[in-house]
Amino acid sequence: MESGGSCGIPAAMKTPKTPKMPKRLERVYEGPETLARLLSVSGSKLTVEDVEEEFAAALEEGTPAAEVIPLLWEAEPRFKSAELARQTFSNLLGLWDLVSDDVVGELVMPDQDPTAPLTPEFVDRAWLELDGLSDRDLRRVRDRFDNVQHDLAVWTFERLREASPTGQELALDLAFETWWVCERARGEKGVPRAFRAALDAAFADADRLSEEPEPALASLVSATLWEQAADEAAPLPEEDIGRIEPVLRAARHVLAPRPAG
């Protein structure tokens, strides 16, 4: 290892070979009748046809699913159980994928300037591609993260010692996924190694670093944290969101490309 080595690695960090949290929600569309029922019982006034139109417009504008789906309800959605919530979002994401195929074709990564902040469309597609990896490919990518970004993984864990186990595990997964999306856009040589000194400096300079380097990634990370906070099986304590967001923001500052000059 170039920095950090294996000294002082907590036991929880010694086997991060596969994501600690369950794989993100399945994307399965069960048909218009099922989705119509789920929308109705959760309090949405939209029809399935309305949702399809909203999705098509968003895809043409390059707006990610994470920003569109919450707008399908005028107020907070009402779910009688965690199972119904998961089924609803699973169906909505499955429908999003079907509409996406019609609007933009099969899964093709959109153009992305490697020197510019990631676009919402690129981030959404990259996250979908990551979710679609086989278990074998996911383990292989995670192994490379553990090697290449060893400091980032250990630093994230250490910065969140006061967070809940759910918060620690989710933050580690999000750090991994943030790195993967950045590398997907910029290649192996286009993403710097996040060494401890740089991470500490970015974290300490949070007030000075007022500009978010990757707004699209920040938006999706925030949505994921709040989604987990609403999960009945493994809820993320809301106080953990305030702990996790500045840690991952520092990571994005280090992983983002430096402007020329």
Report if residue 45 sits inside a domain.
yes
56 and 136, same domain (yes or no):
no
Residue type, 59: L
Does pTM top 0.85 for this prediction?
no
Nearest to residue 150, comparing CAs of 10, 258, 23? 10
222 and 157 in a single domain? The answer is: yes
Give the pLDDT confidence of 138-191 residue by residue, as tens digits: 899 999 999 999 999 999 999 999 999 999 999 999 999 999 999 999 998 899
Please say which residue of 54, 81, 106 terminates a domain. 106
What is the extent of the structural domain holding 88?
Answer: 31-106
Domain endpoint, select from 106, 124, 149? 106
HSE toward the beta carbon, residue 37, CA cutoff 13 A: 7
Number of domains in the chain: 2
Same domain flag for 124 and 139: yes
pLDDT tens across 28-66, in order?
A: 888 989 999 999 999 999 999 999 999 888 887 878 888
